[in-house]
Amino acid sequence: MDHFLYKDGILHAEDVSLPAIAAEVGTPFYCYSSATLTRHYKLFDEALDGLDHLVCYAMKSNSNQAILKLMGDLGAGMDVVSGGEYLRAKAAGIPGDRIVFSGVGKTGDEMRLALEGGIRQFNVESEPELRLLSQIADSMGVTAPITVRVNPDVDARTHAKIATGKSENKFGIPIARAREVYDMAAALPGIDVIGIDVHIGSQLTELEPFEMAYLKVAELTRQLRADGHDIRRLDLGGGLGIPYERSNTAPPLPVEYGALIKRTVGDLGCEIEIEPGRLISGNAGILVSSVIYVKSGEGRDFLILDAAMNDLIRPAMYEAWHDIVPVIEPEAGAERQPFDIVGPVCESGDTFAKARQLPPLRDGEMVAFRSAGAYGAVMSSEYNTRPLIPEVLVHEHQFAVIRTRPTFDEIINRDTIPKWL
């Protein structure tokens, strides 16, 4: 469920019409719903009711500080994967003891940053990382709380570019070697082994891969405790998918996911962390764009939009589907026709959809890409010297610009020409 609905024939975000926002900020722009973000966070929090738990929002899905502040005020922790994300979380008011540092390539500077500013835990992904963290923590006279990310060799049955739990993926330590690595960690100075971490991928649409992974984690927990390790926290990652294509079978609900967690690891007495991102932010955002031209081609018609692949790269990168709808509601029974929906970037890959059935549209009319709140704005770029587009947050009848569109002068003046040229 989201809060983007037609009212009196005009698509609204909560109680604000999209044309009203467009009149102030221009198109294209991202628009997020506070009500949807709040609802989705609470679904996860309520799904784990009865367990000691923390929902850590995976901020790589959408890291605008306004959204982080909203999540933090609800009680969420943050899952960060870089020093920049760590600083964003702190700037949004998230305390260090609610920040989990994930990522396969943490640098020494990032480790120091988090140890100085406060951290809930590092999710360690390799032995070299573990040794470096030990050296840095010991030199600072502090202790680094860690989990070890284990790779359970489970097929998440998702897109190859977002699968992370198979043996050939770069993430984590093979679960078969976990006991050896935990013994090594326990012997290192400056390290406090507190738990286990696992994450098998993103956009999972069935529960069976989660169950396979979590059962392996449960077995490992018992083994490690028998080896003398105080395993008291399980970070189970994120990855639950959303229904991009509305005709598809809906992915499992958070309440079903929560029941699975309770069934597989709930009897271990561990604090549970989960790291949802896409399911919190994905359907809470849309991308609004205007038609520049309607172009007739050889055997096909094109809608050329003012949004492009640099604004929303998912279709070009992942062959992703987004539901695309007119901002002005078509009349019931309106005739539809196939359009290739494309942007103005000089790449054939700048194509959002092919042969998409839409009612006839004219130059200047607007369309909305649904389910664009995750991995949209955060993956955007200024390719072709196209400015990053505004982000807008709606709360009931009001809205605020939470990222402005830079001017061309701001973009161009970031370059420096050497004196010898």
Nearest residue to 376 (alpha-carbon basis) of 305, 320, 303:
320
CA 56 to chain centre: 11
**Alpha-carbon gap, residue 337 to 363, rounded angstroms:** 16
Upper half-sphere CA count for residue 392 (Cβ side, 13 Å): 31
Which CA distances in Å does 222 have to 152, 215, 318, 365?
Answer: 16, 11, 38, 60
Render 21-37 in DSSP notation, one character per residue: HHHHH-SSEEEEEHHHH
**Alpha-carbon gap, residue 124 to 57, rounded angstroms:** 18
Nearest residue to 74 (alpha-carbon basis) of 46, 32, 38:
38
**Alpha-carbon gap, residue 368 to 221, rounded angstroms:** 46
Peptide linkage before 251 cis (omega within 30 of 0) = no
CB burial readout 349-362, b (16+ within 10 A) else e: ebbbbeebebbebe
**Alpha-carbon gap, residue 231 to 195, rounded angstroms:** 5
**For 204, which DSSP code?**
B
**Alpha-carbon gap, residue 175 to 181, rounded angstroms:** 10
Token pair recorded at residue 25: 């900020």
Within 240-357, residue ranges assigned H as helices are 254-265, 278-281, 314-318
How do strand 10-13 and strand 4-7 relate by DSSP bridges? antiparallel
**For 295, which DSSP code?**
E
Q: Which residues are catalytic?
A: 346
